[in-house]
Copies of this chain bind each other. A is one copy, B any other.
């Protein structure tokens, strides 16, 4: 078992460095492979199309059979190693573009056009369980028994469910995860942001407690806003934001922050407007079925410009009129500005970091249990864990 130290009493000591590296065979990588992760937006993969995909430092081939079912198999053909994603989808199989070896959805080689038949039977590549759910494609990279697939009934309900564009963050996944429980950052990172155009101004106080699912953060803003959001292990955030639409008081968000590899992360994001069918039709007409691709600088372009010193945060409003891009670029500077993999050995944490500290404590404890083959906590989401966004000076939402 590689990637962690043993103390003098022969118990493993898992440190934040063990959490950073998530490639195949690493300790945190093997721990995270016990969970289902989103890997693509369902609408981005048409029937009969294959694409390369990367998750937890592992390349794989994602394809949608001609009948519409999504499959995931190893990245390379077992024959000469060419990427299978360049191949042809046939029914629920994928055929390598180099010599036509054909694999079924279980990774079994079922045809080798220029070989004698018995050979194919001996060839099997890795295949990965997949699920399509809430407009996303999920995959399970773990060895052994496949974990039950978790569902989020609230997001299956009536209303408009939008899959927002995937965000890419060129830094370690922990930096992205640590931004969520860190409620104080809102007051500074987003101080010139639409996110603070309501009662969420000023420095909030907050409580963060471990939950059956992960942790719960309750934030109390001086302006009267109360914010309660839920984190689900290992990378899910469920929270409520002010709505982009006048007719709707708020919108719910379900996010997964995945590690593409040690230095690249992505966030898959759902936005739910719980409205009646009639209101949904109006909403769709106003906002489009999916948020339109923006013209103008991207979040990464703006963020990198500021990190390089060629612009300042104050310039953001002049560089784009997209308020969401501004808010994301602010987060980009905060997180990528820590370095691709930040040096946590130099930090000085305080009272306001209790959420970050709890997140790390949970991860370290669980990865240690995993390393020592002891029982891990069984994470699940009970009904009682709710998300809230309420102005306590006014009526509750």
Q: Which residues of A contact B (CB under 8 A)?
A: 49-53, 76, 78-83, 85-86, 88, 95-100, 112-116, 119, 122-123, 182, 184-185, 187-189, 203, 306-309, 312-313, 330, 333-335, 337-339, 342-344, 346-353
- Please state if A334 and B97 are interface contacts (CB–CB under 8 Å): yes
Q: Is the CB of B96 within 8 A of A188?
A: yes
A86 touches B116 (CB 8 A): no
Q: Which residue of B has the minimal Cβ distance to A334?
A: B98
Query: B115 to A351, Cβ gap below 8 A?
Result: yes
Find A346's partner among B81, B122, B312, B349 (CB 8 Å cutoff): B81
Q: Report whether B347 and A312 are in contact in the complex, using a CB–CB cutoff of 8 Å.
A: no
Task: Tell me how far the C-beta of A171 lies from the nearest C-beta in chain B, rounded to whole angstroms.
Answer: 11
Contacts of A307 in B (CB 8 A): 52, 83, 86
Chain B: minimal CB distance from A321 (Å): 21
Residues on the B chain within 8 Å of A122, using CB: 348
What's the least CB distance linking A16 to chain B, in Å? Answer: 12
Q: What's the least CB distance linking A223 to chain B, in Å?
A: 15
Contact status A86-B313, CB under 8 Å: yes
Closest B residue to A49 by CB, please name it: B312
- 14 A-B pairs within 8 Å (CB atoms) are namely A53-B309, A76-B346, A78-B346, A81-B342, A82-B338, A83-B338, A86-B313, A86-B333, A95-B188, A97-B189, A97-B313, A114-B350, A114-B351, A119-B350
> Across the interface, which residues of B come within 8 angstroms of A100, CB to CB?
184, 187-188, 203
Among residues of B, the one whose C-beta sits closest to the C-beta of A333 is B86
How far, in Å, is A192 (CB) from chain B's closest CB? 10
- B337 and A83 form a contact (CB under 8 A): yes
Inter-subunit contact B313/A123 (CB<8 Å): no
Q: How far is the CB of A356 from chain B (nearest CB, A)?
A: 8
Q: Is A189 a contact partner of B98 (Cβ separation < 8 A)?
A: yes
Q: In the complex, which of the residues A79, A98, A203 has the most CB atoms of chain B within 10 Å of its own CB atom?
A: A98
Residue of chain B at shortest CB distance from A311: B86
Contact between A81 and B188, CB atoms less than 8 A apart: no
Chain B, Cβ-Cβ closest to A119: B350
Contacting residues, chain B, for A49 (C-beta < 8 A): 312
Known: A49-B312, A52-B308, A113-B187. A350 touches B97 (CB 8 A): no
Chain B nearest CB from A265 CB (Å) reads 16
Find out whether the CB atom of B312 lies under 8 angstroms from the CB atom of A184: no
> What's the nearest-Cβ distance from chain B to residue A390, in Å?
22
Is A86 in contact with B337, judged by CB distance below 8 angstroms? yes
Contact in complex: A99, B342 (CB < 8 Å): no
* CA gap between A313 and B203 in the complex, in Å: 54
Contacts of A184 in B (CB 8 A): 99-100, 113-114
A42 to chain B: closest CB distance in Å? 16
Q: How far is the CB of A382 from chain B (nearest CB, A)?
A: 30
Known: A80-B347, A83-B333. 19 other contacts (CB 8 A): A49-B312, A50-B312, A52-B309, A76-B338, A78-B346, A79-B347, A79-B349, A81-B339, A83-B307, A83-B337, A97-B334, A98-B188, A99-B352, A114-B184, A114-B203, A115-B351, A115-B352, A119-B351, A123-B348
Knowing A97-B188, A348-B123, say if A309 contacts B81 (CB, 8 Å): no
A136 to B229, alpha carbons, bound, how many Å? 50
Shortest CB distance A124–B (Å): 10
User: In the bound complex, do residue B350 and residue A112 qualify as a contact, i.e. CB atoms below 8 Å apart?
Assistant: yes
In the bound complex, residues from chain B placing their C-beta under 8 Å from that of A185 are 98-99
Contact status B188-A86, CB under 8 Å: no
Q: Which residues of B lie under 8 Å from residue A53 when comparing CB positions? A: 309
Query: Within the complex, which residue of B50, B99, B313, B342 is in contact with A80, where a contact is CB–CB below 8 Å?
Result: B342
Residues of chain B with a CB closer than 8 A to A189's CB: 97-98
With contact pairs A82-B334, A97-B334 given, residues A51 and B309 touching in the complex (Cβ less than 8 Å): yes
User: Looking at the complex, which one of B88, B203, B349 makes contact with A113 (CB distance below 8 Å)?
Assistant: B203
